[in-house]
Structure 1
Amino acid sequence: MKKYITCIFVSFFIIPIYGQEDLWDVIRENSNFQYSADRSEIQKALKIYQNNQYLVDRLSKNGQRYLYHMVDETLKRDMPVELALLPFVESQFDPYAQSPAGASGIWQFILSTAREQGLKRNWWYDGRRDIIASTNSALNYLDSMYKKTNDWMLAIASFNVGPARIQREVKKNKNLGKQTDFWSLKLPKETSKYLPRLLALLEVIKNPENYNVDFPFLPNRPYFRVIDIPSQVDLMQVANISGLSIEAVYELNPGFNQWATDPNGPFYLLLPIGIADRFEIKLNSMSEEELVKWDKYIVKKGDTLTSISKKYMISQALLKEINNLDDDLIFENEELTVPRGPEWLKDYLNKPDIYFVSKGDTLWSIAKKYGVQVSDLIVWNDLSTERFLQINQQINIYPKYFVPKKKKKVNLNDLTYPVKRGDTISKIAKKFGVTGDMIVQWNELKNPEVIYPGQVLDIKFSDLKVN
């Protein structure tokens, strides 16, 4: 176990105090998966990590809030610690990640599997994004898959493609007298890459010096604590009481879809260890009426329940329930109870940070600076990936997790770039904030010195997310 001397903060990275364990070391020491890093599938997945300190730093930053919990849960259950790394592969530990197929959360549950696992989902709450609930469900699911296959690598593959497909392929190979390990099965392309991506990440964690990278220290201690709450709580109140920003509250409690927790539970919040005790004392001194803020709204001429529910970002059915309305009829000057939260949230959404492009900026560098995704910048600013940014161009930056609605979705997996006259691989790489080697690898270019106008190159940002 590594030992350290001092403790200071540098950016988000921590230089630890003497004797403190590094969470990466805990993973290294408890890792038992047997594999050959020389396999071509793993070697291909390893290429993105070679000399890519930026990617390793990004993984460490994204994992710092949640990774300890994953490691702790796997060890408590006597399950392979390698399973704690799956959210890196699934979502890069982004609880708001959503796939084109509708999978959501750090474990990327689709709706049908979430229902099977008992994850609650309604207007207020989505258990797929709840760090505690989704992790419990994911590990329960993986454990059940292991009991069916007696092979953790097949259990992991089942998590990606479903148990039925794995069992079918195993049975087929048995009947043919073939091996039934993961590497011997005929699986969908995505699944055949899934386990190698996990093993490639594990290999880099275990042997970072072989890839010219270094994993920043992550303390082997909890980042958050679970706080029981007595009833529904306005999340802006949580921010005010705790002293956290509203973004920080949502980052640890991404399961809550709205301005407040679900009135029917779960009745808990996650808060950083350092402020949890103080918050709990303040919380216990408050009445339920203080925990959720409601306002009175006087119905105006032309108002309808539909228009009011849209204004306050609340479902029409819930608005009727709160006000004991039997039908949709409302009258001018009638008084309605409405939530305070959405009006604040609406104002919050409509006030972006403004960034003016400087020399050398790329979409990737700006996204990194603000902790958002390139896709966010494209959507928020109606940008074309085929045009260079201009110096002093205004870029709107909204808070990371509150994306304005009614905007087209951008699938970064499918971004393409048509080569222009005068382009080189290095120029294109600089434009998108990636390396030339990545572009060569993504497009299987035999001679990177030769590209031509009109040639279409893939820019696979998903690979940067290890997904």
Structure 2
Amino acid sequence: MRVLLQAAGLAITLWLAGCASTPGTDAPSPLASDGTGPTPGIAAKTPSGPPVVPSGPLTPITAVHASSRSVAALQPPADLWERIRGGFAMPDIDSDLVRQHEQWYASRPDYMQRMTDRSRKYLFHIVEELEVRGMPSELALLPYIESAFNPQAVSSARAAGMWQFMPATGRDYDLRQNFFRDDRRNVLASTRAALDYLQRLYGMFGDWHLALAAYNWGEGSVGRAIAANKRRGLGTRYVDLNMPAETRNYVPKLLAVKNIISDPDKFRAELPVIENHPYFDVVTVDRDIDIELAAKLADVELADFKALNPQLNRPVILAAGTPQILLPWDNAKVFTRNLAEYSEGRFASWTAWTVPATMSVAEVARRVEMSESELRSVNTIPPRMLIKAGSVLVVPRPPSKQDDVAGHVAQNGQLALAPEVSLRRRVVKAGKRDSVATIARRYRVTAAQVADWNDIAVGARFKAGQSIVVYVPVRAKAARSKSGHRIKQVSSRKKAAPKKRRR
């Protein structure tokens, strides 16, 4: 009986060992940016998944087999900072610049606290994406350097979002930018695009420091700097290249933040607790809905809703253009339940309207029954601008309109503006053969404008002698001298008289 019990105990032990380990040769290596092999400096991680149950007769595990197996942790790290530290894989740089930036961040605890606290909404998702791709977890800290983890950040060069994409680069990586949304600020889309871009740069240079330099300075600039050093027989590492000050400090800043997170006690830094689980969930939106109503149905503050959905430019979510939103994990189910039960009125009080002709803001406001100030505010229209024909605006949704905004408008709508020109009302007499079209050509305006000014159809004809209202630009009066005589304006194309040389 004792022999049977010992045999059963041995079998259970071997079975548990098989469950807690997977053969190292079967674990996929983290992919490089080209997807062809392991990324240097990154240890292969055992993928999560169901336990491996051995089949067939049990055999003892030899020392050779044991050395090739990894033991799965019973519990994942409770703290996300610990998980991030475990994925650090970039080589350090021991330089005065790194130490200077360590001191700069460490001497500003309030700034560090705000920055790290802001990141709690996004870090888990970024770390998950990095681990799936087998990329160093230092890259999860890059938005600290780019934007202080502010998804609404806009640079003087028009880079936007927490990953700071320029408009053209954003379009290269499928980040849609239209009147209703800017995906450079979209948490999911911009993270995907940034990691795609970084993987591509790593594939070009084979070095994460150089990839980061290219992310900041441009791949062409880094390539030319490397080529110049090669011609001079100099090194081609990050620390060897001649770069602008911003790029020279870029990687040292990242490594300084990494060092503080690696050992916060050394720098007397306090990191906010960020639990190792998702902060948000993805929710599908299948109809247009006001942002304020969506936040209310989810039972979240409007500011928190906007922090998770910073790509939204207008007060309404268009389902045809933004079919998904992010909500705090526990509030996602609240939103879904409340949305299904909502019966208090319309979901969207706003809709999109395409401007039929170039108009002033005041004229558009009159047509859509809004105040001029509200129209400017909702659509972000600066003063002294005309709204060009074909532009899309957000306007109040009439009670009779139930249809949601069409997909081609939600996906491609743009607002085009032109400088406002002072117009003067003028009444002219129609000739025998004058029509809306001939008057429009004569005064260089559109037929739609002439029709609108005179409250007639675009294809209408005028009777001879009929009064017609047109608005024409006010011409600048000729300048006069102090004596009152007109001053002849000299064409700018004429050459100026040559200046005398100074001896």
The answer to whether the 8 A contact 2:290-2:350 is kept is: no
Q: 1:254 aligns with which of 287, 305, 310?
A: 310
The answer to whether the 8 A contact 2:80-2:274 is kept is: yes
| Structure 1 residue 27 corresponds to structure 2 residue 101 | no
Q: 1:113 aligns with which of 143, 161, 169?
A: 169
> What are the residue-to-residue correspondences of 1:262-301 with 2, within 5 Å?
262-285=318-341, 290-294=346-350
- Structure 2: segments with no counterpart, 5+ residues: 1-74, 352-360, 382-386, 402-446, 454-503
What amino acid is the match of 1:222? P
- Distance (whole Å) between structure 2 residues aligned to residue 304 and residue 105 of structure 1: 34
After superposition, the Cα gap between the structure-2 partners of 1:191 and 1:320, relative to the gap in structure 1 and judged at 3 Å, is closer
> What are the residue-to-residue correspondences of 1:82-161 with 2, within 5 Å?
82-161=138-217
- Distance (whole Å) between structure 1 residues aligned to residue 166 and residue 107 of structure 2: 34
Q: 2:363 aligns with which of 300, 304, 319?
A: 304
What amino acid is the match of 2:158? G
What is the aligned partner in structure 1 of residue 260 from structure 2? 204
Q: 2:392 aligns with which of 311, 315, 318?
A: 318
What is the aligned partner in structure 2 of residue 398 from structure 1? none
The answer to whether the 8 A contact 1:304-1:330 is kept is: no
What amino acid is the match of 1:55? Y
After superposition, the Cα gap between the structure-2 partners of 1:65 and 1:230, relative to the gap in structure 1 and judged at 3 Å, is same
What is the aligned partner in structure 2 of residue 349 from structure 1? none
Structure 1 residue 72, shift from structure 2 partner: 1.2
Larger radius of gyration: 2
Q: TM-score, normalised by structure 1?
A: 0.61
> What are the residue-to-residue correspondences of 1:215-230 with 2, within 5 Å?
215-230=271-286
- Distance (whole Å) between structure 2 residues aligned to residue 238 and residue 153 of structure 1: 42
Q: 1:50 aligns with which of 106, 110, 118?
A: 106
Structure 1 residue 67, shift from structure 2 partner: 1.2
> What does the per-residue CA deviation read over 1:271-291, in whole Å, with 9 as the maximum and x for residues that have no partner?
00011112123334569x833
The answer to whether the 8 A contact 2:158-2:167 is kept is: yes
- Distance (whole Å) between structure 2 residues aligned to residue 197 and residue 88 of structure 1: 9
Structure 1 residue 306, shift from structure 2 partner: 4.8
> What are the residue-to-residue correspondences of 1:363-378 with 2, within 5 Å?
none
Structure 1 residue 266, shift from structure 2 partner: 2.6
- Distance (whole Å) between structure 2 residues aligned to residue 209 and residue 303 of structure 1: 60
Q: TM-score, normalised by structure 2?
A: 0.56
What amino acid is the match of 1:89? I
- Distance (whole Å) between structure 2 residues aligned to residue 259 and residue 220 of structure 1: 33
- Structure 1: segments with no counterpart, 5+ residues: 1-17, 296-301, 332-467
State the identity %.
Answer: 31
What amino acid is the match of 1:44? Q
After superposition, the Cα gap between the structure-2 partners of 1:155 and 1:303, relative to the gap in structure 1 and judged at 3 Å, is closer
Q: 2:249 aligns with which of 169, 187, 193?
A: 193
What number of residue pairs does the alignment pair up?
308
Q: Secondary structure at the match of 1:194?
A: helix
Q: 2:220 aligns with which of 164, 167, 175?
A: 164
> What does the per-residue CA deviation read over 1:53-88, in whole Å, with 9 as the maximum and x for residues that have no partner?
323322221111111111111111111111111101
What amino acid is the match of 2:392? L
Q: 2:294 aligns with which of 206, 231, 238?
A: 238
